[in-house]
Structure 1
């Protein structure tokens, strides 16, 4: 199950994100999205859980919870929509 995690602390890294979700079950991957130009966190990320049941439990438990002073937004990730490339 692929999970979107929003409103993350800008200090959080992939390992921190994995640690939070590993309490609910096996984590396949955890990635905080970084800005390509600045190298700083964009404040959201994605976690892939091995089992859907563990993912559902993590969403239910973590959504709306406080993490480092920020209220997490956690839900099932939607497939990315194809957008046309911007022309400059």
Structure 2
């Protein structure tokens, strides 16, 4: 009986770290990550998981993240190319540990992105807003950096950096949304060619082709 009990953790460890599922991190964990200005992570117990391979199931996602501590809930939202999900921990420290240890880990050969969950409650619907394209972004620019740059215009509602799904790194461009069209035009006029990080950014109206 005791021998069986000893075997069980080893089997669980083997299934969790199966070489085909979970490889060593290929990118550095982003501790501050893409967080909106003013977001307080000290009270957050949930993490967002992005770029999830279509073959990953909800039970597998739960198994992977439970290695960091007891899980209160796990939700997987399926999309055709890459899914995303949310994992709720009972303890904030477990959520922080999951961000540090699992961001960039490969599931079925695809690196997952793990960060504090904030999108559902802190990002508004921008589908009817005015969007501009921002190119030539430095690799270190995050959503929060981009938002901070454009939030000098009061109607700035959202900022998103586009990420390469294979490498987990910035693709060098993003999109910024405004509630007011004049603010969007002013941002293009005023910030095109200005320095953000280590590069001069390009600003223009977003077209359907690059959205």
TM-score by length of 2: 0.37
Unaligned runs of 5+ in 2: 1-129
Unaligned runs of 5+ in 1: 82-88
Specify which of 125, 141, 144 is matched with residue 15 of structure 1: 144
Question: When the two structures are aligned, how many residues end up with a matched partner?
Answer: 81
More strand by share: 1
Which residue is equivalent to 1:61?
190
CA distance in structure 2 between the partners assigned to 1:25 and 1:61 by the alignment: 14
CA distance in structure 1 between the partners assigned to 2:165 and 2:198 by the alignment: 25
Q: Which of 1 and 2 has greater Rg?
A: 2
1:49 to partner: Cα distance: 0.7
Which residue is equivalent to 1:71?
200
Matches within 5 A, 1:76-87: 76-80=205-209
More helix by share: 2
Higher-RCO chain (CA-CA 8 Å, sequence separation at least 6): 1
Which residue is equivalent to 1:45?
174
CA distance in structure 2 between the partners assigned to 1:7 and 1:69 by the alignment: 10
